[in-house]
Structures are given as C-alpha cells and as structure tokens.
Amino acid sequence: MNLSHSRLHRRGFLAAAGTAGLNWLTPLGTHLARAAEEDRRPAGSVIVLWLGGGASQLETFDPKPGTDIAAGTNAIGTAVKGVQLAAGLEQLADQMAHVSLVRSLWSKEGDHERGTYTLKTGFRPDPTVTHPSLGAIVCHDLPGAGVEIPRHVSILPNEWPARGGLFGAEYDAFKVYDPADKVPDTTPHVPPERFEQRLEDLKVVEEAFAQGRGKRVEATGHRDTMERARRMMSSDQLKAFDVSQEPESVRKEYGHTPFGRGCLAARRLLDVGVRCVEVTLGGWDSHANNHEICTRLKGVLDPAFAALLRDLQKRDALKDTVVLCVGEFGRTPQMNALGGRDHWPHNFTAAVAGGGIRGGVVVGESDPAGGKEPRDKQPAANLHATVLKALGIDHEKTMRGPLGRTVPRSEGRPIAALMG
C-alpha cells in the first residue's frame, strides 16, 4: 500500500503543464524542464547496511503489537501515518517518509552462508557459477573516473563479504574494519626513500622475469594491481576513511560505535566517488535472549541509520544514493525455550531508501498469526532488480564469466510500488 505523503513536485508540475503549448517554453519553463530531467537521473551509488546473523523482523521493521508472536515487543508510530516500527527505532521512525519497507521478502535459504549469498547476489547458490554481489555489479556497470581507491568497500565484514564473482577478484569488496583505526596495509613500514628503492628493485626483477613471457605476465594482471596499490597508498582520497576529520557533533549523531563510524565513513567514501559501501552490524543470530540482543543492537542501528539518512538529505545526496538495510533472513514468529527466535527465511523485511525509490511505502504484509505465506510475496531477486533499476542498470542484461558462461544480472523484477 502507498502511504507516502502527497506533494506537488517538479516532475508533477511539469507534467501538468505539458498541454500549455509553446508559451511553456519560457526561461522559467526551461529551468523547470531541466530540473525535472535532473530528478529523473538514476542514482549513482549504493550503501548496504548488512544485519549479519539475520535480524528479527518482529523486533525491527515489522512489529506485531498485541499478538502472540510479538512476545511482548512494543511498536511506535512513525512520520508516516499507519506505519509502525518496533520500539527502540525512534530516530529512524522520524525518517520514515524517506524509507520504504518490503515486509514480504522471502527466500529458500535458512543457512547463514547460503542465505547471505542469496541476499547479496539475488541468486541461490549454484555450484557451477559464482554470482557477483550487488556492489560488484554496480562497480562493473558504473565505472568511476578519477577514483584512486577501491570503488567497492566492505566495512566491518563478517566471514562472507561481498564478492566479485563472475567479474573477477578485482571487484571483490575491499575490506576494512573500525574507521577509528588506520586503513590496513596502506602505509609503508620503511622510510619513503627506501620504499621507492624497493619498488625500483622489484621493477628490475619483474622485467627480467618477463623476458620471453610477455603474454603470460600480462595475463596475471600483476603490474596493474601493483600500480593501483601504489596510487591508492599515495592518494588523498584515503582520508575519506578518516572519520576523525568530521566535527564531533556529526560523529555523535552517528553514534560512537564501530558501526556508527562505518556509516559515517560510507557517506564520506561516496563523496570521493566510491560506488558501493557495505557496512555490517553483526550479532543478530538470536537463538537465545532474543529481546535483549535486539534491544542492544537497535541502540547501535537506530542512530547510525537515521543519521546517515539525515546527512545524505542535508547534502542533497539521498536522491543519488540507494540505502538498503537487510540481513540474510528473519527470525521465527514463535519464541523457543531459550527466549530466542530461530532462522526464518519464509518472511522477513528489508528497508530501502533514496535513489529515486519512493519513500513511506510498505510492500506486502506478513501473517500476524505467524504463517509462512505473506501477502504480495517478494523474492530476494526482486529486491536486487529494484535497486539495479534505481541505479539505471539493466537488470535483464547478461553478464559473461571468464569461461563464457552467461547469466542475467538479476532473475527478479523491480517492485513496481517502489519505483518513483
């Protein structure tokens, strides 16, 4: 159902004036036409907030207050009339006019590794092919000129970070951890003069080895890799990882946590041309003490997610950035004997904002009695197709692996209710 606020925006105004004839071709009309065209440009980047372990939908984005499956979890109102979130997400609730919820998301994978693969790639695991993650597709299809650091970054990754798959290891996410620390392996351990001498010595060895082996050496990509690494190590763009350069007031908004700093670093990285940043908040695997775990993690997620949205809006960058918050699956409607919720891929929720995706919309509805079949069921592939469409990427276009294997970028369909 569409719960977004009605408003007259530039595109609507332009459409309404479409029958005004040549008198519309005034300086004001030209300005508004250009503004409307700007509105239609696809987004250029994506931030994935990954809820590692599988967050409970009932304690986050799909509360069922007063029902047996809620197990005492309360709900709060939001900026969108009729849409509720679980208590503990008060800051995000204020931003719901910009956020939409897919409450009927499902997959067939209830294992952590397989579920992670499915939600990060949009495909179920297949032993004959490794599909690229969402960020790898974005970086492959939307090249960025002048970017000297990796354009696909994973902050606080768990054991299954986003991979390049068919596109190769060069599209794997570059892994970093708490932005309070320096980016690893980017600072020489010797003085600059000695470092340069080592590079010269390496060049001599490489040239000698390449004699008579030119094509084989080129095939390894070693020289290109070394050159990219060297450019990165000397690039001012590395400062984007350094959140200490932000005012204390901004850092406080995101929260003084690794995840909060990760979300702030994600925004800074997009400023220098990075295409995709994945920030992981792990620990949601609540087989025991579900309510305590969710309460603690919501205290980390809520300020960081809300601050990211506010920051992007303030910079007029939310329209150019898709923000996706999801995990590998949800949690069972029924509580177990340990006060926990177990794996539940049959029905869970994703939150998505920005990039021209409509805000304040709820897609689908889960069963308040805890059944497996939601209304308006949406497979993970549809979520991927939606994000790709928002980024101007043809989700049906095939991609080719090194051995000639071709697969589509997505086997899903964009969710019509979310497309602006």
User: Which pairing describes strands 75-77 and 330-331: parallel, antiparallel, or unpaired?
Assistant: unpaired
**First-residue to last-residue Cα distance in the chain:** 14
Q: Report the distance separating Cα 201 and Cα 254, nearest Å.
A: 45
Q: Report the distance separating Cα 228 and Cα 289, nearest Å.
A: 46
> Phi/psi class of residue 404: alpha, beta or left (left: φ > 0; alpha: ψ in -120 to 50)?
left
**What pLDDT does residue 286 have?**
98
Q: Note whether 297 and 67 are within 8 A (CB).
A: no
pLDDT tens, position by position, for the chain (420 residues)?
A: 444 343 334 444 433 433 333 344 455 555 554 554 455 578 999 999 999 999 999 999 999 999 999 999 999 999 999 999 999 999 999 999 999 999 999 999 999 999 999 999 999 999 989 999 999 999 999 987 788 899 999 999 999 999 999 999 999 999 999 999 988 766 665 566 665 666 565 666 666 666 666 666 565 555 555 555 556 665 788 999 999 999 999 999 999 999 999 999 999 999 999 999 999 999 999 999 999 999 999 999 999 999 999 999 999 999 999 999 999 999 999 999 999 999 999 999 999 999 999 999 999 999 999 999 999 999 999 999 999 999 999 999 999 877 778 899 999 999 999 997
- pTM here is 0.85
HSE-up of 90 (CA within 13 Å, CB side)?
4
Beta-ladder partners of 344: 330
Q: Report the distance separating Cα 160 and Cα 133, nearest Å.
A: 11
**What pLDDT does residue 4 have?**
39
User: In 3D, which of 126, 116, 172, 130 has the Cα closest to residue 399?
Assistant: 130
DSSP code of 236? G
**What pLDDT does residue 11 have?**
40
Tell me how far the alpha carbon of residue 127 is from its chain's centroid: 25
**What pLDDT does residue 154 have?**
98
Tokens of 354: 């920005």
- Helix intervals (H) in 3-152: 10-16, 27-39, 90-93, 112-121, 134-141
3-state helix, strand, coil in the chain (%, to 5): 40, 15, 40
Q: What angle do CA 234, 236, 239 make, to 5 degrees?
A: 115
**What pLDDT does residue 335 have?**
98
Rounded to 10°, the helix 290-314/258-271 angle is 30
CA–CA distances in Å: residue 263 to residues 177, 306, 336, 373, 412: 12, 10, 33, 34, 28
Q: Note whether 75 and 86 are within 8 A (CB).
A: yes
**What pLDDT does residue 205 have?**
64
CA pseudo-torsion sign 151, 157, 162, 168? positive
Q: Kind and range of the H or E element at 169?
A: none
**What pLDDT does residue 143 have?**
83
Rg value, the chain, Cα: 23
